[in-house]
Amino acid sequence: MNDTSQVILTTCPRDCYDSCGIAVVKRNGVVSQVRGDPAHPISRGTLCPKCSLGYNHEWRDPAVRLTRPLRRTGRKGAGRFEPVSWETAVSAIAERLTGILARSGPHTILNTHYTGTISLLASFLPMRFFHRLGAAEVTPDTICNMAGHAALGYMYGSSLDGFDPRTVDEAACILVWGTNPAISGPHVFEHWLRTAPGTVVVVDPIRTDTARAAHLHLQPYPGSDAALAFAMLHVMHREGLLDRSFIEAHTLGWDELECQLADCSPEWGEGTTGVPAAKIEQAARLYARGPSLLWLGQGLQRQRHGGNIMRACAVLPAATGNLCKPGAGLLYLNWNLGARGIDEAYLAAPHLRKAPATAVSQMDLAGCLEDAGRSQALFCWNINIAASNPQQGRLRASLAREDLFTVVLELFQTDTADYADFVLPAASFLEFDDLVASYFMPSLSAQVKVMEPPGEALPNQEIFRRLSRAMGFPEPELFESDAQVLAESMRRSGLGRDFASLAAAGTIPVPPVPAIQFDGMAFPTPSGKVEIASARAEGDGHPRVPHPIVDPRPADSRLRLLSPASPWHLNDSFGNVEKARLQAGTASVCLHPEDAAALGLQEGGEALLHNETGRLRLRVALSDAVPRGVALSHKGRWPGRESSGANVNVLNPGAKTDMGESTCVHGVEVTVEPAGP
């Protein structure tokens, strides 16, 4: 028996709170299984079911993956292509770009990208090419979390320095607000939140599995969270639970907020948010007593006034002194790469850009692509806009523009790839070395090559090296190899390790021991304090302080549509994994039984959802986990694989949040009625 078996550690780079450690089993040099690393503190030996299915089937199947560069032969969107050599593809793209640069200028070349992979080389190195090109930047975070970043930036000076989750044992209370880790970070949920000794309070309009596992669940109507935060502050104020000395020493503008509290009694809060006054009081006391952690979700700020909501909720830690000590603090994303020794500017090389980039919100993308004066070419990499962006109908119509030169880098033939002039096959995370930084745990991990890419697929960064060469760009930064960048990144990190040593460890904690958030009360704002009142916000045209404003309830018996994370998809990834599709079942909308009865809908029946933006037929499911007035339909389906040819984003008008020009995808309103035959 010459059977040799080998286990290689690597890391899942999906856009997920978990950043699971992976163990890849190879037999006789061939990958036989991709599973969880038993020694990894978060994954502990198991991957989530979607990754387990995807990584052991379609992601390693050359018959499903893109393996050769493709050139369009049919009309846009038809998905008809012919294989061409890399040389043909790259020189044709370079020729077309050179013409556009000369005729229309670099600002008409749009760069859309996001977090299809969050590994550092595959997401930052391509930016060197786009900076050098001078392309317009479709602001990535506006599809996800920009309102929260803007809001916390004004108040705390940073949205990327969260509490250290490793101090959870010292927290008496953990307030989880507008995130559902039971789905969006299943291992963080299982091994961090569920094992926490403190009292868990969850704020979510839906009775999610995260809410079911909590000691206390507050169920506000979507978009009413600022009022809920103000009602909690009212209780703390009335009952002497505020930390006056912290407020005095470390915050700015408290009095401008305090004067608004008198009107925000728990009874007012109940009327405004739907949360019983007694529960508001209970949550306020639990949180204020502390020490308390506050986890502010990305789902929370996807509302019309998402920025104001984030600011109002983020007052709680400052008002109660739940900051700058173990077991206290707030977390949005732990994504300060500098704190892990990663030099983002080295990776992305923004100095290659000669003039400031034209910025386009993802909410304006469809409109921009309709206008040939603003858009001559479009690059899509690490993103699947035909599935994930708003205004799906309008966007797809604009992608069909014959004169819009479109290049898509992908692992799979997605709906977006169907509109490309050239589809370039990208290597997956199993096929090249890279680095991964979790956005929840303070850690750094290795992504390790365990197999060759299928066919001629290449990592994103190598594709852009080839394009840089074809464009005749001379800068050496554009040609630095992965090995050089990994070595240089590790050297700059000051961690005293090279990539091989990180790869042997899999994941390392950085810093090695738990840190105190904003240690020494050092807030990176202009005043050095928590700016409850912000002159910068005011200068940008926003209110100086947060207000207890609530989005009006939908009129004309429309429902509020929430489309959060699905357990069987990671955004739109795994939408083509057959076993995950079976598990996810037919696309559905979940309604409260009383709403369904009033609308004449039954379990298993067909509903038509429609609004000024689009229409979509969905199977009806009933559950009282969904409150009255709300409709729930998860994101993540591939439009082309649905009988309707669309997914839930066909209903999203792409309205912008109050701050950051970001998505308010959980603020969509729809009419729901029985679908005709």
Ligand X SMILES: Nc1nc2c(c(=O)[nH]1)N[C@H]1C(S)=C(S)[C@@H](COP(=O)(O)OP(=O)(O)OC[C@H]3O[C@@H](n4cnc5c(=O)[nH]c(N)nc54)[C@H](O)[C@@H]3O)O[C@H]1N2
Identity of the residue, 118 or 363, whose beta carbon is nearer to ligand SF4 in the bound complex: 118
**Does 118 help bind ligand SF4 (rule: CB under 6 A)?**
no
Separation between Cα atoms, residue 667 and residue 659, nearest integer Å:
15
- Indicate which single residue of 9, 14, 369, 618 sits in contact with ligand SF4 (rule: CB under 6 A): 14
Separation between Cα atoms, residue 99 and residue 159, nearest integer Å:
40
> What does 223 interact with, of Mo ion, ligand SF4, ligand X, none (CB < 5 to 8 A by kind)?
ligand X
Identity of the residue, 43 or 224, whose beta carbon is nearer to ligand SF4 in the bound complex: 43
Separation between Cα atoms, residue 8 and residue 2, nearest integer Å:
19
Separation between Cα atoms, residue 193 and residue 179, nearest integer Å:
12
Question: What's the length of the chain?
Answer: 677
Separation between Cα atoms, residue 138 and residue 273, nearest integer Å:
35
Separation between Cα atoms, residue 202 and residue 194, nearest integer Å:
12
Mapped onto helix, strand or coil, the DSSP state of residue 481 is coil
Identity of the residue, 16 or 133, whose beta carbon is nearer to ligand SF4 in the bound complex: 16
Residue type, 103: R
> Applying CB under 6 A, which residues contact ligand X?
15-16, 114-117, 122, 143-145, 177-180, 183-184, 203-206, 208, 220, 222-223, 225, 297-300, 303, 381-384, 387-388, 409-412, 414, 426, 460, 562-567, 569-573, 635-636, 648-649, 652, 665-666
Q: Kindly state the smallest distance separating residue 626's Cβ from ligand X, in Å.
A: 9
**Does 12 help bind ligand SF4 (rule: CB under 6 A)?**
yes
Q: Give burial (CB, 10 Å; 0-12/13-18/19+) of 346.
A: middle
Identity of the residue, 184 or 391, whose beta carbon is nearer to Mo ion in the bound complex: 184
DSSP string, 125-172: THHHHHHHHT-EEEEGGGGTTHHHHHHHHHHHS-SS----GGGGGG-S
Task: Provide the β-strand partners of residue 609.
Answer: 616, 672
Contact pattern for ligand SF4 over residues 558 through 587, marking x by CB under 6 A? ------------x-----------------
Q: Are 202 and 220 in contact (CB under 8 A)?
A: no
> What does 51 interact with, of ligand X, Mo ion, ligand SF4, none (CB < 5 to 8 A by kind)?
ligand SF4
* Token representation of residue 65: 């993956």
Distance of CA 289 to the CA centre of its chain: 32
In the sheet that 329-331 helps form, which strands lie side by side, from edge to edge? 216-218, 199-203, 173-177, 292-296, 329-331
- Indicate which single residue of 8, 9, 10, 16 sits in contact with ligand SF4 (rule: CB under 6 A): 16
Q: Are 428 and 38 in contact (CB under 8 A)?
A: no
Non-local (6+) Cβ contacts of 513 within 8 A are: none
Q: Kindly state the smallest distance separating residue 118's Cβ from Mo ion, in Å.
A: 10
Identity of the residue, 349 or 565, whose beta carbon is nearer to ligand X in the bound complex: 565
Identity of the residue, 51 or 609, whose beta carbon is nearer to ligand SF4 in the bound complex: 51
Q: Kindly state the smallest distance separating residue 24's Cβ from ligand SF4, in Å.
A: 13
- Indicate which single residue of 34, 47, 352, 420 sits in contact with ligand SF4 (rule: CB under 6 A): 47
Residue nearest to ligand X (CB): 116
> What does 269 interact with, of Mo ion, ligand SF4, ligand X, none (CB < 5 to 8 A by kind)?
none
The torsion angles phi and psi of 252, rounded to 5 degrees, stand at: -125, 125
Distance of CA 535 to the CA centre of its chain: 29
Identity of the residue, 10 or 139, whose beta carbon is nearer to ligand SF4 in the bound complex: 10
Note if the bond before 291 is cis, omega within 30 degrees: yes
Mapped onto helix, strand or coil, the DSSP state of residue 195 is coil
**Does 121 help bind ligand SF4 (rule: CB under 6 A)?**
no
Q: Kindly state the smallest distance separating residue 303's Cβ from ligand SF4, in Å.
A: 25
Q: Kindly state the smallest distance separating residue 145's Cβ from ligand SF4, in Å.
A: 17
Identity of the residue, 219 or 251, whose beta carbon is nearer to ligand X in the bound complex: 219
Identity of the residue, 51 or 143, whose beta carbon is nearer to ligand SF4 in the bound complex: 51
- Indicate which single residue of 40, 65, 76, 187 sits in contact with ligand SF4 (rule: CB under 6 A): 187
**Does 40 help bind ligand SF4 (rule: CB under 6 A)?**
no
> What does 109 interact with, of Mo ion, ligand SF4, ligand X, none (CB < 5 to 8 A by kind)?
none
**Does 410 help bind ligand SF4 (rule: CB under 6 A)?**
no
DSSP string, 377-414: EEEEES--HHHHSS-HHHHHHHHT-TTSEEEEEESS--
Q: Kindly state the smallest distance separating residue 486's Cβ from ligand SF4, in Å.
A: 21
| b/e map 196-224, b = 16+ CB within 10 Å | bebbbbbbbbbbbbbbebbebbbbbbbbb
Stretch that binds ligand SF4, among 9-17, 276-284, 285-293, 594-602 (CB under 6 A): 9-17
Separation between Cα atoms, residue 650 and residue 386, nearest integer Å:
10
> What does 114 interact with, of ligand X, ligand SF4, Mo ion, none (CB < 5 to 8 A by kind)?
ligand X
In the sheet that 21-27 helps form, which strands lie side by side, from edge to edge? 5-11, 21-27, 30-36
> What does 20 interact with, of ligand X, ligand SF4, Mo ion, none (CB < 5 to 8 A by kind)?
ligand SF4
**Does 385 help bind Mo ion (rule: CB under 5 A)?**
no
**Does 144 help bind Mo ion (rule: CB under 5 A)?**
yes
Identity of the residue, 139 or 208, whose beta carbon is nearer to ligand SF4 in the bound complex: 208
DSSP assignment, residue 425?
E
Q: Binding residues for Mo ion, per CB under 5 A?
A: 144
Q: Binding residues for ligand SF4, per CB under 6 A?
A: 12, 14, 16, 18-20, 43, 47-48, 51, 186-187, 570
